[in-house]
Amino acid sequence: MATDMQRLVGTSEDEDEEDIEMDVKEEDDDEDDDMEKHIATPPLVGVDGLMGSSSNNSRFHHPQIHEQGSNPGGGARRSRPLEEKERTKLRERHRRAITARILAGLRRHGNYNLRVRADINDVIAALAREAGWVVLPDGTTFPSRSQGSKPISGTSAAVTPPSSEMVLQQAPLTSLRGISSGYGSPVDYNASRMKGVYVPNSSPYDSSSRGQSQISSALGDGGEPLNTQAIIGGSVESVDAKQIVDVPSKLPERDFAATPYIPVYVMLPLGVVNVKSELVDPDGLLKQLRILKSLNVDGVTVDCWWGVVEAHAPQEYNWNGYRRLFQMVHELKFKLQVIMSFHGCGGNVGDDVCIPLPHWVAEIGRSNPDIFFTDREGRRNPECLSWGIDKERVLRGRTAVEVYFDYMRSFRAEFNDYFEDGIISMIGIGLGPCGELRYPSNPVKNGWRYPGIGEFQCYDQYLLKNLRKAAETRGQAFWARGPDNAGSYNSQPQETGFFCDGGDYDGYFGRFFLKWYSQVLIDHGDRVLALAKLAFDGTCVAAKLSGIYWWYRTASHAAESTAGFYNPSNRDGYATIAAMLKKHGAALNFTCAQLHVLDQQDFSSALAEPDGLAWQVLNAAWDHGIPVIGENFLPCHTRVGYNKMLDGAKLLNDPDGRHFLSFTYLRLNSILMERQNLLEFERFVKRMHGEAVRDLQQ
């Protein structure tokens, strides 16, 4: 009933009594089929919240219905016994008490930001959207394309019921965490300041939002269809007294002419310099670089591998291969972005070469395996050094931080002329596995597979000593342990006692442990970036952050937690990282998984939200005034993928004009060199540079 929909909780006792009397009278009307019913037609609320046209056959009861006695000219209205009315009142109070507890649970445990007097339609729509369905303002509900459903006629379609079947629309649904809201721009997101709200760019290339945004625009006040030919150029057909609006399969592309200039760098192959510090296939590389130059690419990005340069003995550096590479790049008048890669290569997604850590480090590891990250079962990960030895002199008399600093100082001295000439425009600082600031919580070599939550990596003796000290400082010495119910690499949150809804992650010990675990990550970044700032004074430095987007729509954010990002639904885990980067004037290099969601078939099973994660991370950076460098996560050679990259790099209608500092394309290979792929890539570079292109879809 309409009145039931308008109130769930928060009414006063007087209002309750008055509303219940109304409910009782309406129940009388429903049950007494032989009685005369007084039905008035309320005005309908359209999509924009304005008053629409009314209908004579509306099924809503007028709020002013009065009991009547006998009427000589018509039927007599039956009066219910007072006891039955009282029972109805009790049932109504009981129902409202249950509803209040449901809403309280949704707000507390699911971070549903429902208003106190939420309409029942709001609750149902919220749950439907959380399950991945699309709910239009008029109540029309259908599966999103990400669920693999096929709308009518194989195209995106909105079914607009007649006005007589419209559901009375209350205030628009308040945004939910991880669900697309009604905000129109990133500024609206900043104004809301609600952690975890997904506020994506409106983009015609996002298949999940395209249907919803276009369909919504095709509806007018009161649900009456507007002239869709003028709005979206689609067709309208009448089927069973319902209006079906067909959205065209090809939508106009966004024009990036005269937008800010974003430099485009191309990442060179991982093994461009081999383990002997020799440049591999210089003639073939020169040919490819000349092609990139003809496309007006700004520069190249290259990994300087610790395992190549300082391979055999401490502080014996061999820069020969990189010296030859840099000379070639300089002659072509390219800019350089150089990554200080203190991790090993091989075994991760996209790795096509094997470059281990230096041999002398591996020798130390054989006698002291605790220098590597360790999981609960004691399995070591030799991809990078544990942050527990940042200040431990276990590397031939040096700490890990000192080893990193000596390496960076050697690079600066070797290539000082490239710094002075401005050829080296940025230095990326490797801070963990894959060069990213995170724990190696999801190693494929240990059996991890997407979308497993991963495992904590804090069981080497040095990190355990750090944990024990933190627990003693807190006055809870028995907390000097990792959680014993956090599952394994391929567990799902609900299968564990630690990460399930209402699990131990939100208890006293869970909060202590996760805060300590994430603080170790932040302290490591703080120490290494402080020394990088000394070594590369005057040059932009950057830290790389990965996008752990699976299980983002759960309360615990389990996959992020095991990676070191303490980001549950009631805490912003990226703001503290952004503050640390701001302290050292470092840029954020973010691997933008959301730019390739079109390559992923379905995120619903893993409750993933790459766009929501990206918005949270990018806004944390921009709120602290940190420049952002973009980087694609998966290979891309299609126009649709490039358009997604452009939308992420240059925000639509952003009043602050926010955009990426630069963009790094992964990566240079033979596939990119194919003619058709080069044509698409050239077009992408022009649009990143803000140049006009002629072949925009019209």
Marked catalytic residue, from 26, 253, 383, 436: 436
Marked catalytic residue, from 310, 392, 609, 631: 631
Give the number of other CB atoms < 10 A from CB of residue 475: 7
Tokens (6 digits) for 294: 């003809």
Residues 6+ apart with CB under 8 A from 535: 405, 408, 409, 411, 412
Residue 471 and residue 275: Cα distance in Å, rounded?
A: 43
Tokens (6 digits) for 198: 């997904």
508-535 vs 575-583: helix axis angle to the nearest 10? Answer: 20
Phi-psi region of 687 (alpha: psi -120 to 50; beta: other; left: phi over 0): alpha
- For residue 590, list its beta bridge partners: 545, 630
How far, rounded to the nearest angstrom, does the alpha carbon of residue 643 sit from its chain's CA centroid?
18
Phi and psi at 161, nearest 5°, equal -70, 160
Range list of H helices, 267-319: 282-294, 306-309
Residue 374 and residue 378: Cα distance in Å, rounded?
A: 6
Phi and psi at 439, nearest 5°, equal -80, 150
Tokens (6 digits) for 546: 């990965």
Range list of H helices, 397-460: 400-414, 416-420
- According to the 3-state scheme, what is the secondary structure of 236-247? EEEECCEEEEEC
Residues 547, 588 contacting (CB under 8 angstroms): no
Residues 385, 371 contacting (CB under 8 angstroms): yes
436 is catalytic: yes
237 is catalytic: no
Catalytic residue set: 436, 631
